[in-house]
Amino acid sequence: MDLHEYQAKQLFAKFGVPAPKGKVARTPDEAAAIAKELGSVVVVKAQVHTGGRGKAGGVKVVKSPEEARAAAEKILGMDIKKHKVQIVLVDPGADIKKELYFAVTNDRAARKPLFMASSEGGMDIEQVNRETPEKIIRVHVDPLLGLREYQVVKMASGMGLAREYWGQFSKIAHNLYRCYVETDATLCEINPLAIVGTESGPMLMALDGKMSIDNNALMSHPDLAELRDASGEPEEEIKAREEGLNYVKLGGQIGCMVNGAGLAMATMDMVAQFGEADGILPANFLDVSGGAGEDKVAAALRIILSDPAVKSIMINIFGGITRCDEVAKGILQALAEVPTDLPMIIRLTGTNQDEGLKIINDANLPNVQSARSFSEAAQKAVAAVKGA
Amino acid sequence: MDLHEYQAKQLFAKFGVPAPKGKVARTPDEAAAIAKELGSVVVVKAQVHTGGRGKAGGVKVVKSPEEARAAAEKILGMDIKKHKVQIVLVDPGADIKKELYFAVTNDRAARKPLFMASSEGGMDIEQVNRETPEKIIRVHVDPLLGLREYQVVKMASGMGLAREYWGQFSKIAHNLYRCYVETDATLCEINPLAIVGTESGPMLMALDGKMSIDNNALMSHPDLAELRDASGEPEEEIKAREEGLNYVKLGGQIGCMVNGAGLAMATMDMVAQFGEADGILPANFLDVSGGAGEDKVAAALRIILSDPAVKSIMINIFGGITRCDEVAKGILQALAEVPTDLPMIIRLTGTNQDEGLKIINDANLPNVQSARSFSEAAQKAVAAVKGA
Amino acid sequence: MAILIDRNTKVLVTGITGKQGLFHTRQMIEYGTNVVGGVTPGKGGEWVEGKPVFDTVIAAKEATGANCAVIFVPPRFAADSMLEAIDAGIEFIVAITEGIPVQQMMKVRAVLDQSTSKLLGANCPGLLTPGQSKVGIMPGFIAKPGPVGVVSRSGTLTYEAVFALTERGIGQTTCVGIGGDPVNGMSFIDVLQMFEEDADTEKVVLIGEIGGTDEQKAADFIKEHMTKPVVAFIAGQRAPEGKTMGHAGAIIEGGVGTAAEKIEKFNSVGVKVASNPEEIPDLL
Amino acid sequence: MAILIDRNTKVLVTGITGKQGLFHTRQMIEYGTNVVGGVTPGKGGEWVEGKPVFDTVIAAKEATGANCAVIFVPPRFAADSMLEAIDAGIEFIVAITEGIPVQQMMKVRAVLDQSTSKLLGANCPGLLTPGQSKVGIMPGFIAKPGPVGVVSRSGTLTYEAVFALTERGIGQTTCVGIGGDPVNGMSFIDVLQMFEEDADTEKVVLIGEIGGTDEQKAADFIKEHMTKPVVAFIAGQRAPEGKTMGHAGAIIEGGVGTAAEKIEKFNSVGVKVASNPEEIPDLL
């Protein structure tokens, strides 16, 4: 789960990583009020779950509350890569002396947390990686041992940080690691980690922040789960997540319900293989995931039926931990609640498949066909759309 | 550094290990007042850094403030294995259903923390270990991984703890481990960990507690270092510790100052080898330890000279990290402050030995002899006592 | 012969008294798996499906001689359960549980790498040696004995592929679902190596997905070390573009791991790639 | 020949700019030790005694090819410094620092055991191969080359024993102070094994102390594995009874480790025990 910049920076500050004391606004008036409170120069920044907001005009430095109001007016409601801006962060302006890059994330291949630090902050770090990879100092952390001071020294020394900042940098590194561990983050990124002038002298500060939390860990962190801002997402996807389903709307005509992400992807591929020539495509990706009971399946069906573009439904279940009889009961339950006469192709294979098919057949529904093979199911689903 | 029972139990409680809410008293009146406050039955317990206080009469269960006063009167001032009781703990009485043993300590051989749990609590655990060792469940903790829940289950299951207490036991185990880690303890022992009846039902509680803190870690734990109660110790030992010296008074006539514990022990052995037949023995063990500068050596000499039994002094320094010239300066400095005409045998060998001996010789002190070998020094020191 | 499990493998079920654990214990026993007992803390001494239940893995191992543990406990206990099995010296651990936080798995992996235990999963369907033993949640009837080894990152897609083989009369030595979590136990390469060394395995089917670079590494391994033919399938050719992994993620992974990338890589090392699961038997 | 260090050993001094580090760096260089550089975080780029200083061990190793690190940093940084040296792949680490909390050393030891590095200490005087190299704080002039290996738990007592040998014209292959901390690196057994395998070492002197059971284990090792004669000395025959270790401690140690116990154990395996350090040469 991605966090907004302002949420990441609030968490950084909570763990002792200095960040500007900005506030969020949802209206131009709020933005002006915050700018007034902060005094002098402020930065108005769009809060959206996508990159490239700078280039899109989503970040503006302004010099008065009036300018802040005007900037917020422009930015709020802006569309950045299909994300509608609904919140802006109003941060105090900073006297930036130098910009660094600093992040910790999971290195899947090494199976360890990885710190990356670079003197080349504030810019596109992927470009730095392509052009001057030696300018990114990489340090793997032993997950059992945690970040060690010598590793911090390696980063500070390696990126040529002036020695008077090593003490500050060490605290930030250890605190960022604590933040990463205690929030079960998959990414904590500060870009730029800037040296800024302050009344008490120059100090390191996280001027921008990005955090992602491990979805599997949200159950143990209810406070973090509440930070989810779904305001930009399609309603069906929000509903699906609430039901524990993995749903992505795609815009085609065949509603797909599948168990398992791999099989769901293969199902979409198969539908496209037979339908693409006629412009018939999957309406969605929907993985009911392992162990789906009847309630979950019913919810999935309800979500599929809520999409008006859907002209036929393909249910492809290969029962392992999911039992076909429960799937069958779920389908009937959902159909009782949300009646439909859309053609429905059901393929149930695997654990308790006979019981499952018997339940479907006994219900004797006119619009339901069964299929034994995967390709047969896809072909029937495509044919049903064509015949409609 | 050993803690008193009441200090250990306060730390346990701080880390979430339930312990009785007793208080300490230094006078019988205080004990009576606490008993009155706690109401009904209380236990008055001597707080001394030694075992066997129960057998010595240092623990009494009483039923009224008057009885508590009388018990405290008896116990305060009592001598238990040469430790004078100066504090009593007044704990509320407990309705004990069952007594367990539970501890975590450093296992030197395994180089890991070791938990020990037994259903046979409240008694001499060493006896349990001798007679029915299978009744002590041992679990080594990986110091990088910490205590894991399955290890707690192994202990609870292994000692046959009734299942309704597993939840409480798990919390106590994890909290005791946290206490052990965060205080840099070398021992956290609860004996008994008792099942006691309370208004809200039976619960596990640490009725007695023993903790030792790693001396090497006290520098990082100033709050724990303050818990040291030296009231029972000889004044010289307290002074020595304040100076960073390792001093134990032994009662003989030859004051020894040596660098390094091994050499100090060998010096005592050597003195005894030559002197024991004539009743001449080392007055003390004194290790100025590695890197001793002149201040430290002067302090050591002052402590030796404060012992009236000392008839001659043997200084045995083998300079490695300790430099002989600094030792020599320290001796002169101390002698200038605390003049003595006691015979003094000085053996300086190792780093900067020539500079050191030159400093001593240049000072031209009438009572000082030098020695080249270890045995020569010991023989001269013994001879000096005999000749005195 | 087969790899990893056969009729003699002595299987312990952790979480045996839970709903999923119990259901699949029955299924495993019915298939012929030599289930020797189970573990549920606090239920030691009980019996389930005629099998003894223990409080701890070590007690269960001592009593039953189990050399394999299959983990069905809920996500918040699963890392602990894996560490327990490693500590008890269980040779082969199969973790079915889905939803374990990756930082916990990094710790498990660090401990695993110092041990002699093997781990399959977590978040995997387990494995199946047709006619002998199944450990995990794969439906048994889809497979039949034969000469093809199957290894897959995807749960249900594994079934699909195995089913497609069986329907065409092609049996399997062992079908292994390695799971798709970012940090887990055995990799494609570990399993490919075993199939290469297994006398009865003649050909291998590999089922991959989009994301990561495990398939690319497997392709390199096949090129360098495998003499037996491998047929692959990659799911997700039409997958919607994933959510951003952040710049840090992109730098580490060195690419987004699209299906096209992976298919091209397999083609470049001479591995045939099926366009859908049903096509796999044709390419063998 | 010698064990662990010789004139070719490339030594890095961590904490080289500190008072003790600097003093002993000079002493080591004077003795002939091949000191190639030093490490002090924040002082990289400086020079000390003609040797380059680096911020990190890895940078120092890459620049100098050091294969040995001697640690002089204060106790609160010492565990980190050892972990750094292990991580950098330094083959042999000598930790002089005294006063490291034992729980920190347990972590270091856990990491060390997974590495290929060897650690001597902490809280040890280091070691000395007469005429070639000394690493640590032993005074160089007390030793001379010859056929006796010396291993000791005690700092200054090691010097005493080596000095006693040298005075009597008996030289040493290598003198090793393993230190007496409860959890540390190389043990008596590790060093005895090396002396047994070293062609130039003909006899061995072992210096022990009261406390623990390391000497008893060494005695068992000598009985089982050593062909070369060993002479021992145990300090602390008159030591005052130690402070209580608590019941838990006594149970673990299985005894208090008195000098009498240890002497008896050595006698029982045919190891001669000197009654004082000066007697050691007579028994060789």
Q: What amino acid positions of C are annotated as catalytic residues?
A: 247
Catalytic residue among A5, A6, A30, A101: A101
Q: Which residues of D touch B106 (CB under 8 A)?
A: 102-103, 106, 182-183
Q: How many CB atoms lie within 10 A of CB B370?
A: 16
Which among B292, B334, B339, B338 is positioned nearest to B317, based on CA atoms? B292
Q: How many CB pairs under 8 A join A and D?
A: 35
Q: Which residues of D touch B142 (CB under 8 A)?
A: 110
* Spatial contact of A96 and A50, defined as CB atoms under 8 Å apart: no
Query: Mean pLDDT, chain B, as a whole number?
Result: 90
d(CA C183, CA A108): 6
* CATH class held by domain D126-283: alpha beta
**What pLDDT, on a 0 to 100 scale, did the predictor assign at position C246?**
46
Q: What amino acid positions of D are annotated as catalytic residues?
A: 247
Tell me which residue has tokens 């660094």.
Answer: A100
The 10s digit of each residue's pLDDT in B8-35 is: 999 999 999 999 999 999 999 999 999 9
d(CA D158, CA D138): 9
- Output b/e per residue, A149-188; b: 16+ Cβ within 10 A: bbbbbbbbbbbebeeebbebbbebbbbbbebbbebbbbbb
Contact with chain C for residue A234, Cβ under 8 A: no
CB contact under 8 A, D210 and B103: no
Residue spans in chain C of domains classed CATH 3.40.50.261: 126-283
pLDDT over 90 for what percent of chain B? 61
Q: Domain-by-domain residue ranges, chain B?
A: 1-20+95-232, 21-93, 233-387
Q: Hey, what are A246's tokens?
A: 């993995």
Which among D245, C125, A370 is positioned nearest to B186, based on CA atoms? D245
d(CA D18, CA D73): 7
d(CA D64, CA D51): 10
Which among B320, D86, D74 is positioned nearest to A151, based on CA atoms? D86
Question: Chain C, 203-222: which have a CB under 8 Å from a chain A CB?
Answer: 207, 209-210, 212-213
Expressed in percent and rounded to 5, the helix, strand and coil fractions of chain A are: 40, 25, 35
Q: What are phi and psi of B291, to 5 degrees?
A: 70, 20
Which among B316, B332, B301, B300 is positioned nearest to B260, based on CA atoms? B316
Cis omega (within 30 of 0) for bond into B143 = no
CB contact under 8 A, C251 and A214: no
d(CA B25, CA B45): 10
Check the CA dihedral C3-C4-C5-C6 and report its sign: positive
Nearest residue, CB atoms, D157 vs list B50, B220, B266: B266
Question: Chain D, 152-181: which have a CB under 8 Å from a chain A CB?
Answer: none
Q: Which CATH superfamily is domain C11-121 in?
A: NAD(P)-binding Rossmann-like Domain (3.40.50.720)
CB contact under 8 A, A148 and D107: no
Which among A33, B324, C178, B370 is positioned nearest to D139, based on CA atoms? B324
d(CA A219, CA A91): 31
Which among C283, C276, C265, C1 is positioned nearest to C129, based on CA atoms? C1
- Estimate to the nearest angstrom the gap between the alpha carbon of D63 and the chain centroid: 27
pLDDT over 70 for what percent of chain C? 94
Which among D20, D44, D49 is positioned nearest to D33, based on CA atoms? D49
Q: Which residue of C has its CA nearest to A123?
A: C247
What is the ipTM metric for this complex?
0.91
Mutation choice for B interface testing from C82, C86, C87 by most B CBs within 10 A:
C87
Nearest residue, CB atoms, D209 vs list B181, B189, B265: B265
**What pLDDT, on a 0 to 100 scale, did the predictor assign at position B353?**
80
Taking each helix axis as running N to C, give the angle between helix D188-197 and helix D214-225, from 0 to 180 degrees, rounded to the nearest 10: 30
Q: How many residues does chain A have?
A: 388
What is the mean pLDDT of the segment spanning B85-89?
Answer: 94
The 10s digit of each residue's pLDDT in D100-151 is: 999 999 999 999 999 999 999 999 999 999 999 999 999 898 899 999 999 9
Nearest residue, CB atoms, A148 vs list D42, D59, D80: D80
Residue C230, C-beta contacts closer than 8 angstroms, at least 6 positions apart:
C192, C203, C204, C205, C206, C222, C271
What is the nearest CA distance from C93 to chain B, expressed in angstroms? 16
d(CA B379, CA B371): 10
Residue D225 has pLDDT above 60, yes or no: yes
d(CA B146, CA B154): 15
What is the nearest CA distance from C248 to chain A, expressed in angstroms? 7
Q: Which residue of B has its CA nearest to A145?
A: B144
Residue D251 has pLDDT above 80, yes or no: no
What is the nearest CA distance from C65 to chain B, expressed in angstroms? 18
* Spatial contact of C54 and C46, defined as CB atoms under 8 Å apart: no
Nearest residue, CB atoms, B375 vs list D102, D237, D276: D276
Contact with chain C for residue A246, Cβ under 8 A: no
Q: How many CB pairs under 8 A join A and B?
A: 3
What is the nearest CA distance from C17 to chain B, expressed in angstroms? 16
DSSP string, A193-238: EEEEE-TT--EEEESSEEEEE-GGGGGG-HHHHTT---TTS-HHHH
CATH of domain A233-387: 3.40.50.261
**C244 falls in which pLDDT band (50, 70, 90)?**
very low
**B329 falls in which pLDDT band (50, 70, 90)?**
confident
DSSP string, chain C: --SS--TT--EEEETTTSHHHHHHHHHHHHHT--EEEEE-TT-TT-EETTEEEESSHHHHHHHH---EEEE-S-HHHHHHHHHHHHHTT-SEEEE------HHHHHHHHHHHTTSS-EEEESS--EEEETTTEEEES--GGG--EEEEEEEES-HHHHHHHHHHHHHTT--EEEEEE----SS-S--HHHHHHHHHH-TT--EEEEEEESSSSHHHHHHHHHHHH--S-EEEEEE-TTPPPPPP-HHHHHHHHTS---HHHHHHHHHHTT-EEESSGGGHHHH-
pTM, two decimal places: 0.91
Q: Which residue of A has its CA nearest to C234?
A: A266
Q: How many CB atoms lie within 10 A of CB C151?
A: 29
Which among D239, D117, D104 is positioned nearest to D182, based on CA atoms? D104
Q: Which residues of D touch B50 (CB under 8 A)?
A: 244
The 10s digit of each residue's pLDDT in B277-296 is: 999 999 998 988 755 567 78
Q: Which amino acid is at B365?
A: L
Nearest residue, CB atoms, C251 vs list A113, A125, A210: A125
Contact with chain C for residue B160, Cβ under 8 A: no
Contact with chain D for residue B237, Cβ under 8 A: no
Residue spans in chain D of domains classed CATH 3.40.50.720: 11-121
Q: Which residues of C touch B153 (CB under 8 A)?
A: 41-42, 55-56
Q: Which chains touch B (3 or more CB pairs under 8 A)?
A: A, C, D
What is the mean pLDDT of the segment spanning B145-152?
Answer: 97
CB contact under 8 A, A157 and D77: no
Q: How many CB atoms lie within 10 A of CB C116?
A: 8
CB contact under 8 A, B217 and D107: no
What is the nearest CA distance from D195 to chain B, expressed in angstroms? 23
Contact with chain B for residue D260, Cβ under 8 A: no
Residue A290, C-beta contacts closer than 8 angstroms, at least 6 positions apart:
A259, A260, A320, A321, A322, C98, C137, C155
Question: Chain D, 65-104: which have a CB under 8 Å from a chain B CB?
Answer: 75-76, 96, 98-103
Nearest residue, CB atoms, C56 vs list B153, B163, B166: B153
Which of the 8 DSSP states describes residue B141?
A: P
**B322 falls in which pLDDT band (50, 70, 90)?**
low
Residue D274, C-beta contacts closer than 8 angstroms, at least 6 positions apart:
D231, D232, D233, D280, D282, D283
Question: Chain B, 306-365: which have a CB under 8 Å from a chain D CB?
Answer: 318-321, 323, 349-351
Q: Which residue of A has its CA nearest to D14?
A: A150
d(CA A193, CA A176): 12
A46: part of which helix (H) or strand (E)? strand A42-46
Which among C25, C92, C83, C76 is positioned nearest to C56, based on CA atoms? C83
CB contact under 8 A, B273 and D276: yes
- Output b/e per residue, B267-295; b: 16+ Cβ within 10 A: bbbbbbbbbeeeebbbbbbbbbbbbbebe
Q: Hey, what are C153's tokens?
A: 């990152």
CB contact under 8 A, D42 and A166: yes
Q: Which residues of A touch B144 (CB under 8 A)?
A: 144-145
HSE on the CB side for C129, CA within 13 Å?
A: 18
Per-residue pLDDT tens listing for chain A (388 residues): 899 999 999 999 999 999 999 999 999 999 999 999 998 899 999 998 887 888 888 999 999 999 999 999 999 999 888 788 999 999 999 999 999 999 999 998 899 999 999 999 987 888 888 899 999 999 999 999 999 999 999 999 999 999 999 999 999 999 999 999 999 999 999 999 999 999 999 999 999 999 999 999 999 999 999 888 877 677 777 888 888 888 888 889 999 999 888 888 899 999 999 999 999 999 998 988 755 567 787 888 889 988 999 999 999 988 766 678 887 888 888 778 777 889 999 998 877 888 888 888 888 888 988 887 888 999 999 999 988 6
Mutation choice for A interface testing from B141, B144, B145, B148 by most A CBs within 10 A:
B144
Mean pLDDT is lowest, of A76-90, B183-197, C164-178, for A76-90
Which among B10, B8, B14, B16 is positioned nearest to B204, based on CA atoms? B16
Contact with chain B for residue C59, Cβ under 8 A: yes
* CATH class held by domain A21-93: alpha beta
Q: Which CATH superfamily is domain A1-20+95-232 in?
A: ATP-grasp fold, B domain (3.30.470.20)
